[in-house]
Each structure stands twice: as C-alpha cells, then as structure tokens.
C-alpha cells in the first residue's frame, strides 16, 4: 500500500538505530499487537546520537521514519529531521505524540491515556472498598503523573468515590488550617472513611524539603522522583497517632500496572485512525509532520518542505 514494500521496527528506542537489529513488521507480525500490553519494540532512556541515527537511516535506505513518544522523543525527532535536511536526504520524518501522562502541549489526547484511566479505576475501586470496610478507613492510591495530573484527575472524575485528588498543578501543604491533615480529619469525622488519589509528581517539593533530596536525573535528563506517596502515607499515620485518633490507611500503587494492560476499545479505535491519516500525509510528500487529536478533529502540523 502507498508503494511501501518493507516496514522495519527499531528495537530499544533511539539507540536501536545503531546498536540493535531491526524487526520486519509484516501484517502477520503486527496482526494482534493491539491485544497485548506494552510495546513489541521495547523502549529505552537516552541513547540519542543524531549522527549515528541518520547514518543508520541512510545506510539502510530508509525513506520514511515514524517516531512515537513524548516531549523528549519529539525533540529528538526534530533534531533528526534537521540533520536529514542538512544532508539533503529524501527522507520523511513523522512524529507521533505518545505519553501515558497525556501532557504533550496542544493535543487533547494521547493514545493509551483512556486505557490507563480505565485501569486506574480498578485501583480506586479497591481503595474505596477497603476504606468503607473499616472504621476511619483511608484508601490512598498513587498514579502516574510526573509533571501533570491528567490520569489522576480523570480517574477521580470517572470514579466519583474520591474525596481528595492531589496533582502537581495544584500545590498543597500538610499541616495547619486548610492543610491536608485538617481535611482528612474533617472527612473522617463526617463520613468515617475516605479515598485519596495522588499523582506521583504532586508534593515533591514537600518531600525534597524534608529529606534534602538531591536533584538526580535519569538517562533522558528527567528528574528522578522520590516516592512521595509512601512518604505522605507515613506522615498521615504519624500525624493521627500524635492526635490519638485511630485510622486505617491502605496504600495502593498501581503505577506500572495501568500502562501494562492491553488497550481498551477507545484506544483501539483511535490508534488506527492516527496511522491512516499519517500515512496519507506522508504519501502527499510532506517531509516533516506531527499528528495529533485536537478538539476531536484530526490535525496535522508540519514543518520543512
């Protein structure tokens, strides 16, 4: 179709261009991948060597490159395109926004996000059942969300069982009037139980101040986050122990479970529509583009000639 005779999958992220073998992506190979979780190609942090990547593209005779990933990955795709253009190669580069956190600017939804929110419901429901089953029960769920709380907030809105949702975009404090501890005590006295949902990036500044954490980074340059969920859970227990008020807190961390499941029906419909439009865009000869869903309309942003 579209004159494409061979499709290769690059294993292990950017370094796979020059450090690993490729996988032929035939219809038989990809026939049922939508029924699996994760990625058949694998992923990695770092490994972006622009010169080696473009050398590999040139040596293999590749003329279309589709790069799936978040902010860092798309920045890398832009650099690759600039190097391809500098060399005068006839290669199309397409960036396909993909992040479980759904925090890429401009787009409304990244594929996989609906699946993650749906799976998060299981953890929230378990927390709700546990909290209801014992006096002064607190169900505490930590979800993904490094710099944004889209998963936590959407899961909270969908659940309707959550009393408190903590996200990076909305700073909070623990003690004093209007603090988290005061809210928890008020809620327990009124209802006898409650559910808290927290994005992993929320409250990081509180933990850093407490333990004097170092600003360590991973291979992609992202700041390594401390487990703020466990820390706040312990702070809650310590606070109410001092108050001589018995509580029963159950901490649930489904962080990686929510992105390891097969995609749901919504994402199974959304993803093919993305790749169909993207192929049409490249077929028309646009050299660099990025495809996204914005306000329920399929839009394509392109740069270069």
Region of 160 (left: φ > 0; alpha: ψ -120 to 50; beta: rest) is: left
According to DSSP, residue 192 is labeled: S
Name the DSSP class of 217. B
Question: Is 101 assigned a catalytic role?
Answer: yes
| Spatial distance between the Cα atoms of 53 and 61, rounded to a whole number of angstroms | 12
First to last CA, the chain: 23
Radius of gyration of the chain (CA): 23
46: DSSP letter: -
| Nearest-angstrom CA–CA distance, 78 and 87 | 14
CA 7 to chain centre: 26
Query: Of these residues, 59, 101, 108, 297, which one is catalytic?
Result: 101
Nearest-angstrom CA–CA distance, 60 and 79: 19
At 163 the three-state DSSP class reads coil
Please tell me the distance from the alpha carbon of residue 102 to that of residue 273, in angstroms, as a whole number: 18
> Which residues does the annotation mark as catalytic?
101
């Amino acid at each position: 179709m579209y004159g494409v005779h061979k499709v290769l999958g690059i294993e292990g992220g950017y370094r796979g261009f020059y450090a690993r073998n490729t996988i032929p992506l035939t219809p038989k190979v990809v026939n049922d991948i939508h029924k699996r979780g994760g990625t058949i190609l694998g992923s990695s942090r770092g490994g972006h060597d622009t010169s080696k990547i473009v050398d590999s593209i040139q040596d293999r005779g590749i003329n279309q490159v589709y790069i799936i990933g978040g902010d860092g990955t798309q920045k890398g795709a832009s650099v690759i395109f600039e190097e391809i253009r500098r060399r005068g190669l006839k290669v199309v580069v397409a960036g396909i926004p993909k992040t479980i956190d759904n925090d890429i600017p401009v787009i409304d939804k990244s594929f996989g996000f609906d699946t993650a929110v749906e799976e998060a419901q299981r953890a929230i429901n378990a927390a709700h059942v546990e909290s209801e089953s014992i006096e002064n029960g607190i169900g505490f769920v930590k979800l993904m969300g490094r710099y944004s709380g889209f998963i936590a907030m959407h899961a909270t809105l969908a659940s309707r069982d959550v009393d408190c949702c903590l996200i990076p975009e909305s700073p909070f404090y623990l003690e004093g009037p209007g603090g988290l501890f005061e809210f928890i005590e008020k809620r327990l006295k009124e209802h006898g139980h409650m559910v808290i949902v927290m994005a992993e990036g929320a409250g990081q500044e509180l933990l850093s101040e407490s333990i004097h954490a170092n600003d360590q980074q991973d291979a992609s340059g992202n700041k390594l986050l401390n487990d703020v969920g466990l820390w706040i859970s312990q702070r809650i227990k310590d606070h109410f122990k001092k108050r001589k008020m018995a509580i029963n807190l159950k901490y649930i961390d489904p962080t990686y479970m929510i992105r390891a499941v097969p995609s749901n029906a919504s994402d199974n419909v959304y993803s093919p529509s993305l790749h169909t439009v993207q192929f049409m865009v490249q077929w028309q000869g646009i050299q660099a583009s990025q495809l996204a869903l914005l306000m329920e309309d399929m839009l394509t942003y392109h740069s270069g000639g």
